Structure 1
Amino acid sequence: MEPQQEMLLENQESFQDRQKGKQPREAGAARIEQLQKGSPLNHGVGQLESPGEGRNAQDKGEKLGQEDTPSQETADLTQQLQAGISRVDPPEQEGTPKEQDRGLTLNHPVPDGDGSTSRGDDVPRVFPRAAKKEMEPFEEGRSEESLMGELSELVQQVVKRSSWWERHGIDDCILALNFIILPAGFLCLRSDNALPFLLGIFILGMVHHAVTVKGSHLASHMALTESKSWGKVWAVFFIEICTAFTAEQAYYNHVKMHHGYTNVLRLGDSSTWKIPFLNRYVYMFIAPIAVPILTPLAALGLLKDVQLKTALRTLCFMFLGLYSHYWLLVNVSGFQSVWSALICMLITRSLLAHPYIHVNIFQHIGLPMFSADKKPKRIHLMSLGVLNLPRNVLLDWSFGHSIISCHVEHHLFPTLSDNMCLKIKPIVSQYLKKKKLPYNEDSYMSRLQLFLHNYEELMVNAPPITELVGIQ
C-alpha cells in the first residue's frame, strides 16, 4: 500500500473512532463501505417522489370537503436528513413548472463500483452541515405546504356544525323571493304614473341581476344544492334560460380557468373584461349598457366549441328566456310596440351593469400577476390576487356576498354558498393575518379612482409579472 493511501485510511478510521467510539482497526475499508450503504445519504434514494407526485400530494389540501387533507406537520429524522443535505441549484429542466419543486435539491455522493463514493471525504462532513443549516428552511417549506390544509380543516369544522338552512337554505330563499316579487314588477309597468313605472323598472332590474349574477354564479359552482343532479339542472336554468349564456362554457371559463389560475397571465387573469380600444370613461360609464346585448352574442360565438346537442339545447333555452321576457312585457305590462318592449328589456337588464363590470375588474386587476411557471401555491395565489369590497345591501342582494365582501373566501373555498362565505369570513381573515399573508380589502370609490387614474396601465398595457422571492 502506498503511503498516501495508508494515510487516508488512517484518517478515515480516526474520524470514525472520534464519532462512534473506538472501532476495530481491522474493519478498514469494509467498515467504510458498510457505513456508506447504511447511511441515510444512500438509503431510500429511489423512494423519493417525482415532482408531479409531490404536487399532487400538496394539492390535496386545496379543496374543501373531498380533498382537504392537512399536510403532516412533522417528519422523521431520516426524511429530514434527506431533505437537508447540501443544497445545490442545478439548471431547471424544461417543461417542469417551478411550483413543482420541493425547494431543496439532493446532491448525494454516488457509489462507484468498488463501494467508494465520488466525493470521497465529503461523506463524514455532511451530517453536521445538514443538521445545523438546512433543517430550518425544510421545516419552513413544509409549513407553507400545510397552510391550506390547516385553514381547510378550520373551515370544515364550521361547515359541519352548520345546518342545511345556513349552507343552502338562506341563499335559496333569497332567489325564491326574487321570483315571488317578479309579477309585481311587470304589473307596475302597466301604470301611467312615473313613480310606479320606475318602481317596476327597479324591481325587474334587481330581480334580473339577482337571478343572472347571484343565481348563475352559485349554480356554476354547484353551491345551490348538495345534489349533483339538481345542481346541473339549476346551472342550465340560471345560466342558459335566465342569463342567455351556455352553461358548459360558463363552467369552463369561470370555474376551471379563472378559479384554477387566478391572476395567472393568459389563463385566469380576467383579460376577458379588457377592451383596450375604449378610453377610460367610455369603458367605465357607457360600455356597460351593452352587456345585455354582448352576453348572448358572446354565447353564440362559443357554441362552436361545444357538442352539437349542447349547442342546440343552449340555443333553445336562450330563445326561451329572451322570448319569455318579451312576451311578459307585451301581454302583462301592456307594451304596444316591439321596440318599446325591447328598450325596456335593455334598461332592466343593464340596471346594475355598471357595478357588475366594475366589481369584476376591481377585485383582481391591479393586484399581483404571475406567469404560469412561476405562480405561488394556492393559498398565496388567492390571498395575493383577490380583493374584498365592503358590504353593500344593494349589491349583496343582487350579486351575493361571495362576489362582493367575501371574494377572498370564495376563491379559497369556491363550493360554499354566499351565506357560508360570510360565516367563515372572520376565520379566514384572522388566519391569513396571523400567518402574515395578505388579506386585501378596499372601498368601491377607492378602486374606481385607481382605475380612472391608471386606466392605461391596468386595462390597456400588459400587466407586469410579479416575482415573489421566498414564496415559491
Structure 2
Amino acid sequence: MQSNPEKRRDTASRDGEGHRDAERETLMMELTRLVQKSVRESSWWERRGIDCSILTAAFIKLFNFYYNRNVNAPLKGNCNSKKEKIDEETFVCGSFSARAGVQAHVKMHHAHTNVIGLGDSSTWKIPFLPRSVYLFIAPLAVPIITPIVAVGELKGQSPLQILRTAPCVCLGFFSQYYLLRSVSGLSCSSALLVMLLCRAMFSLPYIHVNIFQHIGLPMFSATHRPKRIYQMTHGVLNLPRNPLLDWTFGHSLINCHVEHHLFPFLSDNMCLKVKPLVSQYLKEKKLPYQEDAYISRLSLFFHKYQELMVFVPPITELVGIQ
C-alpha cells in the first residue's frame, strides 16, 4: 500500500497534469473566440466572395487559354479545398471521389496531424528511392500512379457509389482531352502528352508542399498526444507567399497552413485575414508559429533525406515519451 506522502505526490501529479490540460483547452478556446469574432465582423465578400471570384476567374481564364491554343494546367486552385462542395463526388480533372478525399485528408490527416501511423504524411515516403529521384523525378509519375490508386479506393464501396464516381472521373478526363483536340487543335498524341505534362509539372511542388509542412516537425504517439493547439502549432509549418503556389494551391495549403489546421472551416481568404491575429496570439502565449522558406525546406530534405524520409522520425518529447 502507498504511504500518505506517496499518495499526496500522486494526487499532486494528477492535479498538476489536469491543470495543464485545462490551460491548454483554455488557450484553444480563447483563440477560437478571437477568430470567430473576426469572422463575424467580416463581410460575405471576405468570407466567401473573394474565393468564389477567384475560382470563377480561373475557369474563364482556363477556356481563354484553350481558345488561344495555349495550354493550361488542370485547375487545382484551392478556394479552400473546398468547404463549399461544388461537386460531392469528384474534382473536375482528378480521379478520387470527394468521399475518398474527405477520408484521407479531413478524417485522417487533419484529425491526426503528425500522429505516427495515422496522419503523419507517410503516404509520401518512398524510402527505397535515392533522394534526388524522390525529390525531383518520382513526383512526375504521380499523374500515372493516381488513377491506379483511385481504382483501388473504389474497392469495398457500394455499386451505386462506383457508378456515381467512375463516370464523373471519365467526364473530367475526356472534357480536357476534347478541349485540347477541338479548341486548341492538338493531335491525339499531342493532347495526351500535354495532359500528362501539365499534371506532372504541378505534381512536383504538390509533393514538396505535402512533405515540407509536416515531416521533420515533432511527431506524436497515437496513445499519448498533446492537446489540439499544441499538436497543430508544433506539427504544422507555413511556407512564404508565392504568386505561383498561391494561385495553384491557395493560401490554406501554403502560407496559411497553420491557420488552416487550427480552423479548417475557414475559407482561403479568411485564413489569410486571421493570419496576423493567430501568429500574434501564439507568440504572446509562447507557442511556436512555424514558418520557413521553400528553398530552405528543400535544402533541409535534400541534406537530411535519410533521417527524415528513410528512418521513422522519433516521437517528440512533448508527449512525454521517446
> Into which bin does the TM-score normalised by the smaller protein fall?
over 0.9
Residue number in structure 1 paired with 2:89: 236
Whichever residue aligns with residue 143 of structure 2, its letter is: P
> What is the Cα deviation at residue 234 of structure 1?
2.9
How far did 1:141 drift? Answer: 4.1
Corresponding position: 1:384 with 2:237: no
Give the Å deviation of 1:140.
4.4
Deviation at 1:145, TM superposition (A): 2.0
Which one-letter code corresponds to 1:165 in the other structure?
W
Task: Give the letter aligned to residue 261 of structure 1.
Answer: H
Taking the aligned partners of 1:138 and 1:316, their CA distance within structure 2 comes to 53
Q: State how far apart, in whole Å, the 2-side matches of 1:291 and 1:469 are.
A: 35
| CA distance in structure 1 between the aligned counterparts of 2:320 and 2:192, rounded to whole angstroms | 56
Q: Which of 125, 145, 150 is the equivalent residue of 2:25?
A: 145
Identity in percent: 56
Contact 2:21 2:227 in 1 (8 A): no
Is 1:172 aligned to residue 52 of structure 2? yes
Q: 1:270 to 1:402 in 2, by over 3 A?
A: same
Provide the rounded CA distance (Å) in 1 between the counterparts of 2:88 and 2:291: 30
Q: Deviations over 1:186-217 (max 9, x none)?
A: 1333xxxxxxxxxx23xx12xx2xx33515x5
Q: State how far apart, in whole Å, the 2-side matches of 1:138 and 1:269 are.
A: 27
Q: 1:218 aligns with which of 72, 75, 81?
A: 81
Q: Which residue is equivalent to 1:319? A: 170
Structure 1 partner of 2:99: 248
What do you get for the CA RMSD once the two structures are aligned?
Answer: 2.0
In structure 1, give the amino acid aligned to 2:76: T
CA distance in 1, matches of 2:9, 2:301: 45
For structure 2, the 5+ residue unaligned runs are 1-6
Q: How many residues are treated as equivalent by the alignment?
A: 315
SS of residue paired to 1:269: coil
- Specify the alignment match of 1:413 in structure 2: 263
Runs of 4+ deviating beyond 3 Å: 137-141
Match of 1:467 in 2: 317
Among residues 240, 247, 263, which one is paired with 1:397 in the alignment? 247
Residue in structure 2 matched with residue 446 of structure 1 by the alignment: 296
Change (3 A) 1:470 1:458: closer
Aligned to 1:20: none
- 1:425 match: 275
Which structure has more relative contact order (CA 8 Å, sep 6+)? It is: 2
The equivalent position to 1:286 in structure 2, one of 137, 147, 152, is 137
Contact 1:390/1:444, CA 8 A, preserved across alignment: yes
* 8 Å Cα contact 1:103/1:141 also seen in 2: no
Q: Could you say what secondary structure the match of 2:119 adopts?
A: coil
Check whether the contact 1:260–1:268 (CA below 8 A) recurs between aligned residues.
Answer: yes
User: Which residues of 2 match residues 253-272 of structure 1 at below 5 A?
Assistant: 253-272=104-123
Secondary structure (helix, strand or coil) at the match of 1:86 reads helix
* TM-score, L = length of structure 1: 0.64
For residue 34 of structure 2, the aligned residue among 154, 157, 161 is: 154
Q: Are the equivalent residues in 1 in contact too, given 2:24–2:229 (CA < 8 A)?
A: no
Q: Aligned equivalents of 1:103 and 1:164: distance in 2?
A: 48
Q: Secondary structure at the match of 2:219?
A: coil
Task: Give the superposition deviation at 1:325.
Answer: 0.8
1:305 aligns with 2:183: no
Q: Which has the larger radius of gyration?
A: 1
Pairwise mapping of residues 182-197 of structure 1 onto structure 2 (< 5 A)?
182-189=62-69
Equivalent residue of 1:268, what SS?
coil
